[in-house]
Amino acid sequence: MANRINREQVKHVAELAKLEFTDDQLDALTPQLDDIIGLFESLSEVDTDNVEPTTNVTDQINVMREDVADNWGQSAALLKNAPDAARGYIKVPTIIDESED
């Protein structure tokens, strides 16, 4: 294996992405990502000196509109989608982990 990405790097990227993997999953994922990144590296064969990047294929630039609220006043329907809610608020677990104090 060419080792373009190793297991520790995969764990680091997972942390950035707010994902976690079991050891078995890491064993399977690391070589898969390595293969795919190997394909990515083929791009180095393309001469892109003096080539501008394309991040957007439209010709629309700086489209403006009035900042007007619409379709609002649906808090009850929105809260129905929340995993946990009470008295018009979304409930979450303790934000500050007290065990770390």
* Residues in touch with other proteins (CB under 8 A): 5, 10, 13-14, 16-21, 29, 32-33, 35-37, 39-40, 42-46, 48, 51-58, 60, 63, 65, 71, 74, 77-78, 80-84, 90, 92-97
Report in angstroms how near the CB of residue 20 gets to other proteins at its nearest: 5
The residue written with tokens 């000196």 in the block is 49
* C-alpha span between 45 and 37 (Å, rounded): 14
Report in angstroms how near the CB of residue 44 gets to other proteins at its nearest: 7
Report in angstroms how near the CB of residue 70 gets to other proteins at its nearest: 9
Element (H, E) at 75: helix 75-80
Nearer to other proteins (CB atom), residue 53 or residue 88: 53
Q: How far is CA 99 from CA 33, 92, 94, 95, 96, in A?
A: 35, 17, 11, 12, 9
